[in-house]
Amino acid sequence: MAILSYREALNRAMTEEMLKDPNIFVMGEEVGHYQGAYKVTQGMLAKFGEERVVDTPISENGFAGIGVGAAMVGLRPIIEFMTWNFSLVAIDQIINSAAKMLYMSGGQFKMPIVFRGAGGVGGRLAAQHSQAFESWYVHCPGLKVVAPATPKDACGLLKTSILDNNPIIFIESEVLYGFTGEVPDQEFSIPIGKGEIKKEGSDISIITWSRAYHFAIQAAEELEAEGISAEVVDLRTLRPLDEEIIYNSIRKTNRAIVVEEGWPQAGFGAQVAYLIQKNCFDYLDAPVERITQEDVPMPYAANLEKLSMPSAEKVKTKIREMLS
């Protein structure tokens, strides 16, 4: 096992696939000469040249549209948004072009495109740059939505995403780029639509994804000292969703809490909670609970930012209440 950072794992995934297929290219702001805003594409310009690592103007709608057109004619673009907050400028291309092209063309045009970049809550980046948008994209049929929490999952899922013939929304937590973890030395891939039990438990199931996984696993490990056994289910991909891993966990623990970075109103966790009560109602010993971002624009002040975010402490407090 190699020890790689989250950004190095993503770089490795793109590099391995680009070495095998000349139709794969990366496009986005500062991906080339600046080596990537978060250094995810570091070294790739030197390996592949300017035709395959393409710096763009600040025009998300424009280069997202170029990516859609390239995918329609057989190329496999990886479109980097410097942050998913900027994807709002390109959302028409993502929703009305990429997501619908296969259906509206009667299957004539496949759409092998990955939209990827930093998402979720940043570090003191305030209201316009600290937003978790996965529920927006999960809402749209035609898209697949991936949100890995660890370097291994980031590498394996990005490789699978690049080879998929459907448009992929690949959301990378902005604060995890420096997070390190084990990644297999040999080439590997992880299937889209398969979650993973990251920690076994018997008292409660914590359902989570992306950065919120780290709050969940910290809470679960600290609760062990109190005699509380929490199971942590990392969904990894949100659409398609691995429903069975959720239901099997809850049939064992009889309680569930969903932890996410997004806002509470119509968040993806609400959909998960609905599916749990619909399919596991007879197994539940308590209502399904949620831990989310507070229902406010993200503050800039560090103390207010911390108060508004999910945390391991909030997860522990809620679990203690559920088990009391």
Look at residues 98, 73, 116, 124 and name the one whose alpha carbon lies nearest to residue 298.
124
Look at residues 56, 12, 49 and name the one whose alpha carbon lies nearest to residue 30.
56
Write the burial class of residue 89 (CB in 10 Å: 0-12 exposed, 13-18 middle, 19+ buried).
Answer: middle
Told to judge if 129 belongs to the known catalytic residues of this protein, a careful annotator would answer yes
Catalytic residue from among 8, 17, 60, 289: 60
3-state secondary structure of 220: helix
Look at residues 120, 111, 122, 125 and name the one whose alpha carbon lies nearest to residue 79.
111
Which sign does the torsion angle of CA 313, 316, 321, 324 carry?
A: negative
Look at residues 6, 177, 29 and name the one whose alpha carbon lies nearest to residue 90.
29
Q: Give kind and range of the element (H or E) at residue 168.
A: strand 168-173
Instruction: Measure the CA–CA gap between 76 and 165, rounded to whole angstroms.
Output: 9
Instruction: Measure the CA–CA gap between 38 and 290, rounded to whole angstroms.
Output: 31
Write the burial class of residue 42 (CB in 10 Å: 0-12 exposed, 13-18 middle, 19+ buried).
Answer: middle
Told to judge if 60 belongs to the known catalytic residues of this protein, a careful annotator would answer yes
Catalytic residue from among 8, 129, 260, 289: 129
3-state secondary structure of 278: helix
What is the four-CA torsion angle of 72, 78, 81, 84, rounded to 10 degrees?
Answer: 80
Q: Which residues are catalytic?
A: 60, 129
